[in-house]
Structure 1
Amino acid sequence: MSSKPGLAITAALTAAFAAYTIYVICAGLGFDPLGMSWDFAVSAQLGDSFGPLNSLLALAAAISATAAFLDQKSALNEARTNAKVDAELSYKRDVERTFFNLLQLFKETLGDISTVDANDWRKSLNGRPAVRAILDTDIRKSTGDADADASRFRAAAFKHRDSLSHYFRLFYHILRFINVRDLKIDDKLLYTRLLRAALSDAEITIIALNCIHGSGKPKLKRLLEEYGILHNISERSGIDFNIFDNFDKGAFGDRTAHSKSGKVN
């Protein structure tokens, strides 16, 4: 509601009151603008005629004050709404900036992973090729013996602990950062998809193995299942390293994951 109608009414009544007052004064001084005679014998009765006008002015003033109050209240509510929207946008921008900084740091951490090429010990492998070599050479395919699989993974994790431990911890904290932020679920899914898209098949596999045999169980494993982080794992890796049988189907998103035993999860 706007205060303009109330102000207009007040102004109109004030003008009428002023004109009426001027007319009375002029008539009392002997100058009658309308050419009418003035009899002060009835002045008391004439004064009574101001009563209704005063009441109307008081009503107009009340309407104007109420309109002004409602106008101020509306403006205050609008300001609060705008402030809330601005705060939400600022928070979202901060989250986005932090996420992409963490993602950049994660890529740099991946580059720090290194190993020796199994076919040429003089050649060093870094980043994704190193992760693939660690999987194929140190960890190797699942034998179906859970204890033996766990033993090989832990030996490889210890051998490359200076790089893999940092890599696993940072990945967990990026995923946890997304999970605990005060964001809409669509925004959280967007960030987790971007994180998932940055992973190679070898990375997805070694992260999954860390959840099965290493330090990623149960905290990281739960987040992988909640956000479908293993969605892009290849069928070959899922079977060779016995990934499909060790996670709830939520870890694979909306894909159908076939286990080594032939079951559909």
Structure 2
Amino acid sequence: MITRFLEELGLTKRRGFLIVSALLVWISAIIASGAGWNPFANTWDFSNSGAFGDSFGPLSALMASLAALGAIATYRAQSSEIGRVREREEELDEAASADRERAITREFLADERALRQNFESTYFQLLEMLRSLVNTLDVEIYVDQIEKGHDAFKALLEAFKAGSQNPDADKGELWLAFSNKYKNDLNHYFRLMYHIVKFVKYSEMDNRYFYIQLLRSMLSDSELALLALNCEYGYGRDKFKELIEEFALLHNLSEAEKDYWDLESKFKPEAFEFRHADSVFEFVESEDISAPDKV
């Protein structure tokens, strides 16, 4: 404690020892004299007591200085201690802030995982409904000739081609008549497709195009052609067509079908573009690289 006090005063141990020793000798001599100790057998001349009393003036000044220095040292020590306490409090505040941020991050990630799980649960249920609908679909284009599943869509497309050979015929009217004839097979399929794409579009997922890619990979060439025809001539032109263009739903459509129906003049180029996902969470349009196998 004494060493720390001397350090606060800016004194070395040696100087501090000398000062303290001198003070102790001075004080001891005064006390001994007051007790009657007179090693030199001198008689006291009280006429000189005033002068003797004045000799304590420097001592008083010295004691006052030491008291001031002690107060300064105490102030410095307290200031240093307060500084250390404040630094510790700041460290604790920073640690608490970091803990809060980690807790918020964990909570956010948990919410994000829950949101994604809820979305994917519903989305894959919709895809299963679509798969089941396709598998159970059966149409009778010709007498006693029933086509099922994806073959049913191929038969429907071929039937519409056969009925729209006349170049002067209004394809819009032909399609409405055709879709009305097979409304029990087609309309439910088109509605379900529309609601799946709409569900993805208005979800809070960052990687919506990724989920559209999954949907697109399930569709046959005939299904894509029928979707395009419905969006050009049928009820899908009001709402579904813009979603097809936004999410490039016709990207996998064959060149033969695009040319046969002249679809590239009827849809925006975005409907056929290739896009690839840089990560699961985002996609970018590809312009300068060769497209791999269609997905």
Q: TM-score, normalised by structure 2?
A: 0.64
The separation in 2 between residues aligned to 1:142 and 1:253, in whole angstroms, is 29
Deviation at 1:204, TM superposition (A): 0.4
Q: Which moved more, 1:72-81 or 1:213-222?
A: 72-81
From 171, 188, 191, the equivalent of 1:169 is 191
Quote the residue 2:246 is aligned against. 226
- 1:25-64 aligned at under 5 Å gives the runs 45=67, 48=71, 50-64=74-88
Give runs of aligned pairs for residues 181-220 of structure 1, distance below 5 A: 181-184=203-206, 187-220=207-240
Counterpart in the other structure of 1:124 = 146
Give, in whole Å, the separation in 1 of the partners of 2:107 and 2:205.
Answer: 18
Deviations 1:27-83, CA, capped at 9 Å, x for gaps: xxxxxxxxx9x97x88x9597454433332222222212221222122212221232
Identity, in percent, stands at 27
The letter for the 2-side match of 1:74 is A
Query: Is 1:102 aligned with 2:122?
Result: no
- Match in the other structure for 1:153: 175
Q: Kindly name which structure, 1 or 2, has the bigger radius of gyration based on alpha carbons.
A: 2
Q: Give the aligned residue type for 1:240.
A: Y
Deviation at 1:208, TM superposition (A): 0.6
- Whole-Å separation in 2 of the counterparts to 1:240 and 1:59: 83
**Is the Cα–Cα contact under 8 Å of residues 132 and 202 in structure 1 kept in the other structure?**
yes
Which amino acid in structure 1 is aligned with residue 194 of structure 2? Y
Report if the CA contact (8 A) 2:140-2:146 is conserved.
yes
TM-score by length of 1: 0.71
Q: Does residue 87 in structure 1 map to residue 111 in structure 2?
A: yes
User: Higher mean Cα deviation, 199-208 or 71-80?
Assistant: 71-80
The residue number in structure 1 matching 2:31 is none
- Aligned pair count reads 218
Task: Give yes or no for contact 1:138–1:156 (8 Å, CA) kept in 2.
Answer: yes
Counterpart of 2:272?
252
1:239 aligns with one of 259, 262, 273: 259
- The gaps in structure 1 that reach 5 residues or longer are 1-15, 21-35, 256-265
Match of 1:179 in 2: 201
2:167 alignment partner, one of 132, 144, 152: 144
**What is the CA RMSD across the aligned residues, in angstroms?**
3.0
User: Are residues 1:115 and 2:131 paired?
Assistant: no
> For the structure 1 residues 192 and 175, does the alpha-carbon distance in structure 2 shift closer, same or farther, using more than 3 Å as the test?
same
> Residue 237 of structure 2 aligns to a residue in which SS?
coil
Q: Is the 8 A contact 1:168 1:207 kept in 2?
A: yes
